[in-house]
Structures are given as C-alpha cells and as structure tokens.
C-alpha cells in the first residue's frame, strides 16, 4: 500500500436522534448526510430503524428515533465521524461497527432512503399545517377584551355632541334673546 492509498471499509452506523430534532426529519437526514460528507463516507443504505421509549433518560430525553446506515469510509475517518456526532446537538448517540460480515444483498435490503424522503416531506407538510392552524387560532380566537377598545366611540360621542352643540351657537343665542 502506498502513501496515497487509504484503506476503506464498510461500516454500520446506528444514530440515535432526539425526538424534538426528529420533528424536523428532513433537517436530521440532511445533518447526517453532512456528517458523512465531512468524513468522506459514501452512504450505501439508510433507513429509519425504530422510534421508541429509551431504557433510561438521556440528555433529558425519554424517547428517541434510531436511524440505521451502512456506509463505506476511510478507516482513519471513522473517528472523525464519531467526534462530529458527539458534538452535534441533534444526535444523542452514534455506534459504529464494521459490516464486513454482511453481503451486499443484505445491506441493499436495508436501503429505504426513498421512504425516508417521503417521511421527511410528510412531516414537513404536517408541520406547516399545524403552524397554519396555530396562526389561524391566534387571529380568529381574539379574546372579548380585545374588542372593548372598539366600544370606546361612546366616549368620543360626547366630544362630537359638544362640537354639534358649539356649531349652532348663533341659533342658541336667538331663542335666548326672545
């Protein structure tokens, strides 16, 4: 092996993502792909493995989403990938193991990147619908007290009457002279 050649291996990575981060699922997938790019890794297969309650609370989180990924990566960059995952605020844990024992067919059977994209789009649309519902309830659900300032024209009415009383001053003097 020469100095320019690097050893690459095939790895299995299990990402544990916070449930709050998983609400923006597309952002999480983009973040994971960015971590792979930084480690010069190529994703072979990725899927959402499970969403479940954790055995114990981690980082004040009781639930998490597991994402399973198979990737090829230079062996010296695996440590960089793990370090980036530790620094990340979206990823609670990452476990990387070698996947030399699996065949290409077994790895390909775990590829559900299209399903991940579909779920990300669905969650994004669902989030937009919820945001529009919140915005609609804010506009439509105004409290009764907020309408009270509109009833203040009654206070303005005496001023208007004073102006109307002031206008016929000449007429008011004429009956007084009689």
- pLDDT tens track for 126-153: 876 676 666 655 555 555 565 555 555 5
Q: Is residue 111 in some structural domain?
A: yes
Burial of 32 (0-12, 13-18, 19+ CB in 10 A): buried
* Residue that the structure tokens 């998490």 belong to: 64
- Domain CATH for 47: 3.30.70.60
Q: Is residue 78 in some structural domain?
A: yes
Q: Is residue 1 in some structural domain?
A: no
Q: Bridge-partner residues for 68, per DSSP? A: 14, 47
Q: Is residue 156 in some structural domain?
A: no
Alpha-carbon distance 130 to 139, whole Å?
14
Is this model's pTM higher than 0.85 or not? no
Q: Is residue 45 in some structural domain?
A: yes
Q: Is the dihedral of CA 66, 111, 21, 41 positive or negative?
A: positive
**Residue 35 lies in domain:** 8-124
Question: What angle (nearest 5°) sits at the alpha carbon of residue 109, between those of residues 118 and 96?
Answer: 90
Question: Number of helices (H) and strands (E), helices first, in the chain?
Answer: 8, 4
Q: Is residue 36 in some structural domain?
A: yes
Q: Is residue 38 in some structural domain?
A: yes
Q: What is the DSSP string of 57-98?
A: EETTEEEEEEEEEEEEEEGGGHHHHHHHHHH-SSEEEEEEEE
pLDDT higher than threshold 90 for residue 10: yes
Q: Is residue 150 in some structural domain?
A: no
Question: What are the tens digits of pLDDT across the range 65-75?
Answer: 999 999 999 99
* Residue that the structure tokens 């994971």 belong to: 32
> 7: how many CB neighbours lie within 10 A of its CB?
8
Strand positions, DSSP E, 78-170: 91-98
Number of domains in the chain: 1
Which pLDDT score is estimated for 156?
53
């Amino acid at each position: 092996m020469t100095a320019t050649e690097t050893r690459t291996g095939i790895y299995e990575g299990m990402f544990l993502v916070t449930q709050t981060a998983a609400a923006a699922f597309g952002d999480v997938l983009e973040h994971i792909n960015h971590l792979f790019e930084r480690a010069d890794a190529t994703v072979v297969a990725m899927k959402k493995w499970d969403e479940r309650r954790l055995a114990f609370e981690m980082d004040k989180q009781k639930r998490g989403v597991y994402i399973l990924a198979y990737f090829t990566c230079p062996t010296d960059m695996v440590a960089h990938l793990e370090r980036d995952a530790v620094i990340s605020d979206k990823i609670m844990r990452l476990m990387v193991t070698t996947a030399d024992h699996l065949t290409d067919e077994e790895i390909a059977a775990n590829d559900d990147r299209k399903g991940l994209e579909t779920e990300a789009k669905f969650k994004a649309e669902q989030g937009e619908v919820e945001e529009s519902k919140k915005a609609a309830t804010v506009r439509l659900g105004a409290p009764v007290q907020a309408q009270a300032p509109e009833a203040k024209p009654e206070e303005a009415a005496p001023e208007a009457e004073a102006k109307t009383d002031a206008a016929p001053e000449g007429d008011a003097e004429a009956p007084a002279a009689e």
